[in-house]
Amino acid sequence: MSEATNIHPIFNSLLSREKKEGLLKQNGVVLWMTGLSGSGKSTLAKALEFALYDLGYKTMLLDGDNLRTGVNNNLGFSEEDRMENVRRSAEVSKLFASAGLVTICSLISPTEEIRAIARDIIGEEDFKQVHIDCPFEVCAERDVKGLYKKALAGEIKNFTGLDSPFDIPKDPFVRIPTHEQSLEDSLKQLLEAVLPIIKLDENK
């Protein structure tokens, strides 16, 4: 892809992020939820969004499957396409966070290299990695989408955790062991981690 030479960014003249956050009375952030298929990412992401709404926070939920029906609908599951999937999702997440929204991005994003791309795009301060921790065997037992049965039968190639790697996050913002606790307890743990960072410090 050739680089465009006629682009003139206007970032410096836009309404500031600080003003947008002040209007919304919250800090923008990206909660990057990573984990195996069936680990509970989407379920917990939806529960978190509803809980934050009830508390008066403005959010945007970006789910991997939803993104693949729209902005990422031309991508497959090769390593190159996975990286592009994450790159686009990270760029979109960055825009929402800069508008002051609590952005919940739920993607498998399986490798440290791929997640580093997202972190570099979004920025260290805004990127909060949430590891939805559930072993392959438990996810396979749940098999909520019927994908594990197909993958184990060889009908799906490049399946994360089977014939495509999943790197366990080394130092996540928070780790949620969904195989060890209920949805209610997982949501409580996540809220306890998230609320202090999205609450606006009006004395800043």
Q: Are 191 and 57 in contact (CB under 8 A)?
A: no
Phi, psi of 2 (to 5 degrees): -80, 150
| Residue 59: DSSP 8-state | E
Query: Considering 37, 39, 109, 186, which one is annotated as catalytic?
Result: 109
Q: Are 167 and 110 in contact (CB under 8 A)?
A: yes
- 102 three-state secondary structure: strand
Q: Cα separation of 186 and 204, whole Å? A: 31
Query: Cα torsion at 69, 144, 33, 190 (round to 10°)?
Result: 140
Is there a catalytic annotation at residue 78?
no
List active site positions: 109
